[in-house]
Amino acid sequence: MQNPSTDAPVPAICSRSEWVKPIGVYVHFPWCLRKCPYCDFATFERPREAIDHRGYANAVIAELDARRDWYKGRLETVFFGGGTPSLWEPAELGRVLEAILERAEGLSPDGVEVTVECNPSSLDGPRAKEFAAVGVNRLSVGVQGLDQSRLEFLGRLHNPDEALAAVRAAIASGVRVNADLMIGIATGFDERVHQAPAEAVREAAVVAELGVSHISAYQLTVEAKTRFGELDRKGKLPLVGDDRMATTFLETSRALEERGFEHYEISNFARPGERSRHNVGYWVGQDYLGLGCAAYGTITTENGAFRYRNAPNPERYLARVEAGQFEPHEREQLDGPTLLKERIMLGLRLREGIDLERAAEECRTEAWTDERRRATRELMSSGRLVQEGGSLRIPRDAWLFTDGIAAALF
């Protein structure tokens, strides 16, 4: 097998010589039982029995072996996303996990967080236990809502009872559990069928009281290349208004904080010590090795950082692996200013914001350009940004404007 082009492994982007590079691994599983109309992830419809579970695991392990020179550092987290990785036979997913752990240079002293994204239609008690038995210690369940008409509108295959049963099954397996919810959904143009803020609060409370340690509450993003995107272009997609969305966001936040969750990122809530370490890794600019069809990765070497993406189609990905071709489908070198813009965009999503000066040092670029100083002053005077020393953060009531605030700081 041919190795991908390699770079020296030392992560010199950070100047502290004692620093050990933390790294995460993301494994993409590209199949779902049915494609949801709002989803623009690289996913393909396929019945479970038509998936080559073993063949895909073999391909991902072969890719891992070929990318050994990029897989340097202390492994912190492994995330199986998709797609619907809960469709994957646990024994095959377990083989991939074992290979990732075995080949790591070092393991986090806090233990490696291992998450699997699950769809309620492919997670029950026995399956949750099988995942736990192969070393998974966190299950993320796509509940999305607890109202039948909303779930149908979103094209989900499960009903509210099945969603709750999947969360209970995940909790009973003894692992950490996240539930994904979507907030502010309109199933028609009549405002009476727009989700009321109180309804979003009720759903979040029901899920919280089941005993999950983490909740992600997302707003619908209309992506151009989806069925919802097409409907939106024709003016046929109902959406809740900005005011209702803002109220829903703030009331959901308040309700979850009252129940002991910390609102630590725009869309994420965690009980103490239960933040998603993998996602925090993205938000603070940690490297991650991406494996599998359509997976992205970001790797830092002494020659700088680069991002790559694997072939976006499963047949093509598998054929390339079979032929021993591991050059990524796309590869982009990231210079210091580009990296810092990403760090700003992602870091400002966190409650504590970003240590801009430290991030700039790590990215080997300038923290305070004249434009950035001016934008910071303007945003502070309008109450949309707080500066504390070299750090910047957005107050919670301005979180809904994060993208625009970050763009102003570029």
Give the residues lining the site for ligand SF4 (CB under 6 A). Answer: 32, 35-36, 39, 41, 43, 82-84, 119, 142
Question: Minimal distance in Å, beta carbon 309 to ligand SF4?
Answer: 17
CB of 41 or CB of 410, closer to ligand SF4: 41
CB of 141 or CB of 255, closer to ligand SF4: 141
SS3 29: strand
- The angle formed by the CA atoms of residues 327, 329 and 335, to the nearest 5 degrees, is 90
Question: Minimal distance in Å, beta carbon 268 to ligand SF4?
Answer: 17
Which residue do the tokens 């009281």 mark?
Answer: 209
- The angle formed by the CA atoms of residues 358, 298 and 117, to the nearest 5 degrees, is 110
Strand partners, 214: 178, 270
CB of 119 or CB of 300, closer to ligand SF4: 119
Cα–Cα distance, 90 to 134 (Å, whole number): 7
Cα–Cα distance, 334 to 337 (Å, whole number): 8
- Two tokens at 391? 């750090």
Question: Minimal distance in Å, beta carbon 41 to ligand SF4?
Answer: 5
Question: Minimal distance in Å, beta carbon 230 to ligand SF4?
Answer: 16
Q: What single-letter amino acid sits at 348?
A: L
Give one DSSP letter per residue of 205-259, joined into a string.
HHHHHHT-SEEEEEEP---TTSHHHHHHHTT------HHHHHHHHHHHHHHHHHT
CB of 39 or CB of 210, closer to ligand SF4: 39
> Pairing state of beta strands 106-107 and 113-118?
unpaired
Tally of helices (H runs) and strands (E runs) in the chain: 14, 18
Question: Minimal distance in Å, beta carbon 221 to ligand SF4?
Answer: 11
CB of 104 or CB of 182, closer to ligand SF4: 182
Strand partners, 78: 25, 114
Which residue do the tokens 């008690």 mark?
Answer: 125
Crossing angle for the helix pair 90-103 and 125-133, to the nearest 10 degrees: 20
**Cis geometry, peptide bond prior to residue 83 (ω within 30 degrees of 0):** yes
CB of 84 or CB of 252, closer to ligand SF4: 84
- The angle formed by the CA atoms of residues 129, 134 and 136, to the nearest 5 degrees, is 75
CB of 142 or CB of 297, closer to ligand SF4: 142
Question: Minimal distance in Å, beta carbon 228 to ligand SF4?
Answer: 11
CB of 140 or CB of 253, closer to ligand SF4: 140
Question: Minimal distance in Å, beta carbon 279 to ligand SF4?
Answer: 16
CB of 41 or CB of 296, closer to ligand SF4: 41
Question: Minimal distance in Å, beta carbon 360 to ligand SF4?
Answer: 35
CB 271 within 8 A of CB 179: no
- Two tokens at 218? 């997302």
Cα–Cα distance, 147 to 403 (Å, whole number): 30
Question: Minimal distance in Å, beta carbon 12 to ligand SF4?
Answer: 37
Question: Minimal distance in Å, beta carbon 169 to ligand SF4?
Answer: 17
C-alpha distances (whole Å) from 353 to each of 253, 374, 383 are: 17, 19, 15
**Buried b / exposed e across 360-392, counting CB within 10 Å, b at 16+?**
bbbbbbebeeeebeebbeebeeeebbeeeeebb
